[in-house]
Structure 1
Amino acid sequence: MRDESGASCRVCRAPLPTATRGRPPVYCSRACQARAYRRRKNPPPAAEPDPPAGRPSRRLEIVEALWRIAAERGLEAASMREIAAEAGVSLRVVQYHFDGKHQLLVTALRLLHRDGERRARARIEAVADPSDLRALLRVILTEFLPLDDRSRTTLRVLLAYYVRSLTDPALAAVFLHGGRPLEDLVAGIVGQAQREGKAAPGLDPRHEADLLVGGVSGLGMDVLHGRRTVAEVRRTVDYHLDRIFTVPAASRTPAGTSQEVHLGVRQASRQ
């Protein structure tokens, strides 16, 4: 028989049975009573106040700890406990901000891409002459190279994700997006340069983009291993760009839409 007073379980809010003797019940079952006990014994950490100006949020600190571990030891070493220790917080704090390791891995990957896109946009916008498609393409390609500590860490983390994605289908679904935006971007610049008479007319922009993006990505890994220097890779990039952007005088046509292409590149880098 149920209590008609409207009282409900403190855990699941189900109606409570009528008390036959003693104090009225507050839980509908022993299972709910056990859940309430566990909550009292292990309460979730209190919500943190906003961080001071200039200091990253606790969530970002945890993500950056994951990046450091992945860059130094690979994702296999990035257990939740190791991440908590690297971030200088308790395991419960990590679990408060992230439901599980998969969510943490996905969030860290997306933030890594967002950080890389932000830095790439800054470099692209710093190109002095928007009509200089060769300079614009050179800036985009050199983003694949470990030019400083930040980009070196980014490349190492992406390589760690690539290795993990080979055996983790759920992570691969996030890591491997459906399109090829970088190849599309490079192909678009080469095609526009051809239309403006600034690139050899007989080239296939798609094949050139595949070669450039794939080649510079591989050369960037050589730089990480110390097999090549950044200066050597830059010379290789310049060699291929000279091949693309050297055209006979008779094939040249007046430029007119490079500014539009520059704006399109900035928009594409935001996607």
Structure 2
Amino acid sequence: MTNNSEVTALMPRLVDHELRRREITDAVRRVIVAGGLDAVTFQTVAAESGFSVRVVQYYFGTKRDFLLATHRSVMEDAGARFTKRWTALGAEATPRETVRAVLTELLPLDDQRRAETIVLGAFAWAAICGQGITAEETFAAPRALIAIVAEQLRRDQAHDVSASCEPERDAELIAMATGGLAHGMLQGFGTAQTAIGLLDRLLDLTFGVEGDRAEATHH
């Protein structure tokens, strides 16, 4: 007679496929951080993830498939942090506070954000060099960021008639400048403190210095 433990051992294990896919894309990130996009193969990802090449191929039929899935996973992680920071600010947050909270999540201020910046930089370079990833496939994230910033700039204009800006163009400028700050930090061009100071300076130029604006509103 077969006991319960024997039955359990004979039953096929239930696999959380989304977790398995995430474990593989996390491994892709680590391979990129250690050796760049050229280091990514089914073999290196399998070794890093602890799964067989066959398992990696089961979830991602081509290298391109797991590269694009990895890019999406980085964007999803950043988006989750944006949402968390935004929620923590509360409904009374000013447009400037909201934009600052979002943009600081793009700076490599800790190990996770540093790794994400390296990974996104690798994808950008691959798109520039035509290494199987097109630029268009990496534009969803910056477009979403630009839309968020532009909305906050329009909100700022609605509350301050003296504000002078072009929301869409200024949002593009802010997004591209923040990307430049992030990659500059990776190269050692300035510290985290320098980058945050430059970000605040950019927001001063865009939204105005907070103290000056409060005084102008009071008068």
TM normalised by structure 2 equals: 0.81
Question: Which amino acid counterpart does residue 67 of structure 1 have in structure 2?
Answer: R
Distance in 2 between residues matched to 1:227 and 1:207, nearest whole Å: 26
Does the CA contact (< 8 Å) of 1:222 and 1:228 recur in 2? yes
Question: Which amino acid counterpart does residue 87 of structure 1 have in structure 2?
Answer: S
Question: Which amino acid counterpart does residue 50 of structure 1 have in structure 2?
Answer: V
Question: Which amino acid counterpart does residue 41 of structure 2 have in structure 1?
Answer: S
**Matched residues, number:** 202
Displacement after TM superposition at 1:162 (Å): 0.9
Identical amino acids, percent of aligned pairs: 29
Distance in 2 between residues matched to 1:235 and 1:178, nearest whole Å: 24
Does the CA contact (< 8 Å) of 2:86 and 2:102 recur in 1? yes
Computed over aligned residues only, the root mean square deviation of the Cα atoms, in angstroms, reads 2.6
**Structure 2, unpaired ranges of 5+:** 1-11
Distance in 2 between residues matched to 1:127 and 1:86, nearest whole Å: 38
Question: Which amino acid counterpart does residue 100 of structure 2 have in structure 1?
Answer: R
Displacement after TM superposition at 1:131 (Å): 3.6
**Could you report, residue by residue, the CA deviation over 1:70-105 in whole angstroms, capped at 9, with x for unpaired residues?**
122111110111111111122111112211111111
Does the CA contact (< 8 Å) of 1:196 and 1:252 recur in 2? no
| SS of match in other structure, 1:180 | helix
- After superposition, where does 1:1-271 map in structure 2 within 5 Å? 49-50=14-15, 57-128=19-90, 130-166=92-128, 167-168=130-131, 171-177=134-140, 180-197=143-160, 200-243=162-205, 244-246=207-209, 252=217
Does the CA contact (< 8 Å) of 1:200 and 1:245 recur in 2? no
- When residues 155 and 179 of structure 1 are mapped into structure 2, their CA distance, relative to the original with a 3 A threshold, is closer
Question: Which amino acid counterpart does residue 165 of structure 2 have in structure 1?
Answer: L
Distance in 2 between residues matched to 1:159 and 1:99, nearest whole Å: 24
Displacement after TM superposition at 1:227 (Å): 1.4
Distance in 1 between residues matched to 2:202 and 2:132, nearest whole Å: 36
Distance in 2 between residues matched to 1:106 and 1:77, nearest whole Å: 16
**Could you report, residue by residue, the CA deviation over 1:228-255 in whole angstroms, capped at 9, with x for unpaired residues?**
11111111121222232346679749xx
- When residues 216 and 170 of structure 1 are mapped into structure 2, their CA distance, relative to the original with a 3 A threshold, is closer
Paired position in structure 2 for 1:24: none
TM normalised by structure 1 equals: 0.67
Does the CA contact (< 8 Å) of 2:24 and 2:45 recur in 1? yes
Distance in 2 between residues matched to 1:249 and 1:118, nearest whole Å: 32
Distance in 2 between residues matched to 1:92 and 1:48, nearest whole Å: 18
Structure of greater Rg: 1
Does the CA contact (< 8 Å) of 1:106 and 1:171 recur in 2? no
Displacement after TM superposition at 1:129 (Å): 5.5
Question: Which amino acid counterpart does residue 152 of structure 2 have in structure 1?
Answer: I
| SS of match in other structure, 1:126 | helix
Distance in 2 between residues matched to 1:161 and 1:48, nearest whole Å: 36
